[in-house]
Structure 1
Amino acid sequence: MRNRRSYRIVVTIACFVFAGMNAYRILQGYYTWIDVFLLIIFLIFGVTYSYILFRQDRES
């Protein structure tokens, strides 16, 4: 199987950046329910990809 480490790193960073942008919008007070939903989704994906990356580091 191909090494997808660089892809996972990019996706993890992108998820946390988008989560941060949504969190900033929520903190400013100009948000809708979709902003809260996207914040939660991006955080879940970011944490999941981080877990996968750290798990692979420990295995090798």
Structure 2
Amino acid sequence: MFYLRKYGKYSAEFKEFVTKQIVLDGHKMTDVCQRLDIPYDTLQNREFTRRILLNTRQNLVM
């Protein structure tokens, strides 16, 4: 049985929330995906990855 997930655009606030969960709180991407019901491939998307890297670099500078 296949389950089709509804794909859509996520708001900027939601993207920021997800990246903070991963970068600041140190949660694993797989755990965040399961908890928020996001496809794992979405987090590997360029935009999410770019946000995660930017947040990581900003935290290292601070």
Instruction: Identify the TM-score tier after normalising by the shorter chain.
Output: 0.3 to 0.5
Give the TM-score taking structure 1 as reference length.
Answer: 0.39
Q: Which has the higher contact order (CA 8 A, sep 6+)?
A: 1
Higher helix share: 1
Return the index of the structure with the highest Cα Rg: 1
Give the TM-score taking structure 2 as reference length.
Answer: 0.38
